[in-house]
Structure 1
Amino acid sequence: MSETYMRREPLRIGFIGLGMMGLPMLENLASHDAFHILAFDTQNAPFDKLATHPAWGTTLTRATALDEFASVEMVITMLPNSVITNAVIAGDADRAGLAGVLAPDSIVIDMGSSNPGETQKLAELLASAGSTLVDAPVSGAVAKARSGTLTIMAGGPDAACERARPVLEKMGTNIIRTGKVASAHAMKALNNYVYAAGLLAASEALLIASRLDLDLTRFAEVLNASSGRNVATETKLNQFIIPGTFAGGFALRLQAKDIATAAALQSLTGIDAPQLNLCNSVWADAISALEPGADNTEIFRFLQQRNEATADS
C-alpha cells in the first residue's frame, strides 16, 4: 500500500513554478485532498486563477518566501532552466535556498528540464543537508498537463522515487523509472532531440512538397500511414503547421534549451553526433530570427522564411 493511503495526515507539499506547465500540474495535484499544498511563484497571475480552485484557501495556499517551505515534506520545482532551479535550491549570498530551509528527510522533485550535470551537483548538495533529490521531467506538453496524463520520468534512489510516486501519479499516467539521479534529465533531453529531429525532417519535407504544389493534407496522410510517421507528423502537421496556427503548446526557446542540453552530452560521453549538432544549430538560429514567444512548430516558418530569403538574394 502506498504511503499516501497509509498516512493519517495529509502530505505537506510545496510547489514552485506556476508557468504554462506548472500551473495545470498544480491544479490537478490540488484536486486531491490527500495533500496540503503550499504554492510559490514570483508572478501574481497564476494565483488570480488559483483563487477559483475548490481547494484554494483550505488545502491549497500561497507561500510568499522560500523559508515557508520548512514545514513541508516534499517540494516540486517546475522551473524553466538549471540557472533558476539552482538559485531556488542552492540559494545565493542574499537568500537561503531550499537546501538550507528544508527539514531532514525531505524530498525535492525537480520536474523541469534541467541540465543533468547540474542536477547531480544539486543532489549532492541536498544529500549533505539530509534531503534527497528526484529528477522527474515530463513529456506531453500543456494539453496533457491539463488532463493529468503526462509521461513522467523519475531518476533517483529507489526509496525516494517510491515516496514520490503517489504524488507523480496525480499529474501523469505513465511513470517511468530511469535509474540513478540525473538519468531522467538526460533521457528527457535526448528524447526532445529525437522529437526535434523528426519535426525538422517533417518541416523540410513539407516545404519541398509545397513547392511541388502537392496536397499537403494528403501528404501528411501518406506520412502517417507509411515509414515516415513520427510524433511530429502525427500531432503537428495537420493540427498546427499546415493550417498555420503554430500553437502546439511548447515554446521553441524551451525546445532549443533541451536540444542544447542534449548536445552538451557529447563532450561528456565522447560521442560525436552530427545530426544533433545540426538540430542545435538550426534551433539556435531560429531563436534569433523569431519572436521570443514562438511555438516549437514555428521551426517550419523559420525554414520557410530562410528559403524565401535565399531565393530573393
Structure 2
Amino acid sequence: MSATPGAASNVGFIGLGKMGLPMATCLLAGGHSVMAHDSRAKATETLRGKPRLSVAADAATLAAARDIIVLMLPTSAVIRHVMQEGGLLAALRPGTLVIDMGSSVPAETRSLAAEIAARGGQLVDAPVSGSVAKALTGTLAIMAGGDDAAIDRAMPVLSCMGEKVIRTGPVGSAHAMKALNNFVYAAGLLASIEAVRMGERLGLDLAVLTDVMNASSGRNVATETKLKQHILNGGYSAGFQIGLQRKDLETAGAIAAETGFDARSLALCRHIWTEAVEALGPAADNTELHRHLR
C-alpha cells in the first residue's frame, strides 16, 4: 500500500525479523525515509542500498534522529531492554511518537506509555494480525490503541503496512485485544484438531468432516484455513511458529492474572501449547499441534 499523498515522513524502525523486515520495506515503498536498527547486524543487509534508507548503529542514535519510531520486537522484555539498556528512552526527543507493533503485555504497555509521556512523547500500541505474506504486501490488519491525535499522526505510517486499522481505545487496549483474539484462535485450532483426531479413530472421512464443520456451527478460521490446507495433508506450513502462539497465550494469561478472572480454558490451552513447544521446539509450525496430539 502507498502512503497518504504528501504524508511521507522520516521513520525509525527497530526489529527486522520475519515480520519487521517486510514491514520496513513497505514503508520505503510508500515513500517514507527509514532509519533501521536491529541487534543482529546481518538483519539490515537485505535493506542496504534501497533509496531513503539509513542504518543506525544503536537504538539511542536512532531515537535522537527520528520523531516517529516503530518497534517490531518480540516481547515486552525485549522492548524494556531496548528502552533502558539500549538507551532509546533516554534519547527520545519531546514530541516523539513511538509505535509498538509487537505483541506486548498490556500492563507493560501502559507503564511504558507513562514513561514516554514523562519525556514529552506518546505511545501508540499497534499490533498486527496476518502472515508474513500479508506483511510483504502491506495488507496486515492493525489494531491501534492510544490518543486519537497520536493515532491520526501514525496513520500515514500504519497505512503503508496494513489495509485495515481498527481503533481499539486507550493505550494498551490494542495489545489486550490482540492477545485475547489469539487466545480464541488457539482454542478454535485446538478444538478442530481434537475433533479430527477423534474422527480419525472412528474411521470418518476427515475431508467430509471438515466440510460439515465449515457448513455448520463449528466453523472457525482453523476449520476454514488450516485443516485441509495444512493439517490433513501433513504439510504443516501455515507460517506461524508454535512458540509465538504460546507467547500470545502467556500474554492472555497475564491479562487473566491482572483481572483476577479464572480463565480455565485459557489455562488448558497454555498447558497444551507448553507441552507442544517442549516436544516439537518453538520454531515448529503452529499446525504441528496436530502431530503432538496423537
User: What residue is the counterpart of 2:27 in the other structure?
Assistant: 29
After superposition, the CA RMSD in angstroms is: 1.5
String of CA shifts for 1:11-50, please: whole Å, max 9, x gaps.
11011111111111111111022x1101111224433322
Partner in structure 1 of residue 66 of structure 2: 72
The 1-side partners of 2:169 and 2:185 are apart by: 22
Deviation at 1:4, TM superposition (A): 5.5
Alignment of 1:88 onto 2:90: no
2:37 corresponds to 1:43: no
Once the two structures are superposed, residues 152-176 of structure 1 have per-residue CA deviations (whole angstroms, 9 ceiling, x without a partner) of 0000111111100111011111100
Pairwise mapping of residues 1-313 of structure 1 onto structure 2 (< 5 A)?
A: 5-6=5-6, 10-33=8-31, 35-51=32-48, 56-69=49-62, 70-89=64-83, 91-92=84-85, 95-96=86-87, 98-304=88-294
Task: Give the distance between the partners of 1:192 and 1:262, measured in 2 at CA.
Answer: 8
Matched position secondary structure for 1:219 = helix
Q: Say if 1:224 and 1:230, in contact at 8 Å, map to a contact too.
A: yes
Query: How far apart are residue 148 of structure 1 and its match?
Result: 1.2
Separation (CA, whole Å) in 2 of partners of 1:18 and 1:85: 14
| 3-state secondary structure, aligned to 1:176 | strand
Cα pair distance change 1:176/1:214, threshold 3 Å: same
Partners of 1:82 and 1:115 within 8 A in 2: yes
Deviates more, 1:137-146 or 1:151-160: 137-146
CA contact (8 A) 1:11 1:73 kept: no
For the residues of structure 2 that align with 1:143 and 1:218, how far apart are their CA atoms? 29
Q: CA deviation at 1:180?
A: 0.4
User: For 1:81 and 1:24, how far apart are their aligned partners in 2?
Assistant: 19
Identical residues among aligned pairs (%): 51
The count of corresponding residues between Structure 1 and Structure 2 is: 291
8 Å CA contact retained: 1:15, 1:26 = yes
* Pairwise CA distance, 1:291: 2.0
Q: Distance in 2 between matches of 1:44 and 1:104?
A: 29
1:76, 1:110 within 8 Å by CA — same for their partners in 2? yes
Where 2:219 maps in the other structure, the secondary structure is coil
Contact 2:37 2:44 in 1 (8 A): no
Measured in 2, the distance between the counterparts of 1:275 and 1:285 equals 15
Q: Deviations over 1:186-228 (max 9, x none)?
A: 1000000000000000000011111122222222222112111
Query: Is the contact between residue 111 and residue 136 of structure 1 (CA under 8 Å) also seen in structure 2?
Result: yes
SS of 2:276's equivalent in the other structure is helix
Q: Which runs of 5+ in 2 are unaligned?
A: none
* Helix, strand or coil at the partner of 1:178: strand
- Structure 1 residue 6: Cα displacement: 4.9
Distance 1:170 1:143 in 2: 14
Quick one: distance in 2 between partners of 1:197 and 1:86? Answer: 30
**Matches of 1:212 and 1:43, distance apart in 2:** 50
Structure 1: runs of 5+ lacking an equivalent: 305-313
SS at match of 2:142: strand
Q: TM-score, normalised by structure 2?
A: 0.95
